[in-house]
Amino acid sequence: MSVQMVIELRDRAGAQTILQALDAYKVRLRAGIERTRQRLAEFETRYGMDTTRFLREMAAEDITGGDLEYVEWAGEAKLLEGLEAELQELENARCQLP
């Protein structure tokens, strides 16, 4: 299902400002995704397993860092999921100027 959104601006220059802001936000999202992937890779190296297996099989008491490490690793995984979903939405957005 698609949704349309209408933004009325005074002139075409305003549209360019909006498009530039969206592009800048996508750049920040990509940087956040890269940082989050690096943090996940650090956990994966430290514990010798990928994040998918960690989320499926592990509990806080199973890792040496305990609750804090578990929450941080799981939190990074959830953050990555959200960042990627948000970027995908923006990548799929379409702009039509008259």
Region 69-74: what's the mean pLDDT? Answer: 94
Ranges of each domain in the chain: 24-92
Neighbours of 69 (CB within 10 A): 15
pTM of the model: 0.87
Segments in the chain forming alpha helices (H) = 12-47, 51-57, 66-92
Q: Over the stretch 29-71, which tens digit does the pLDDT of each residue have?
A: 999 999 999 999 999 999 999 999 999 998 878 888 788 999 9
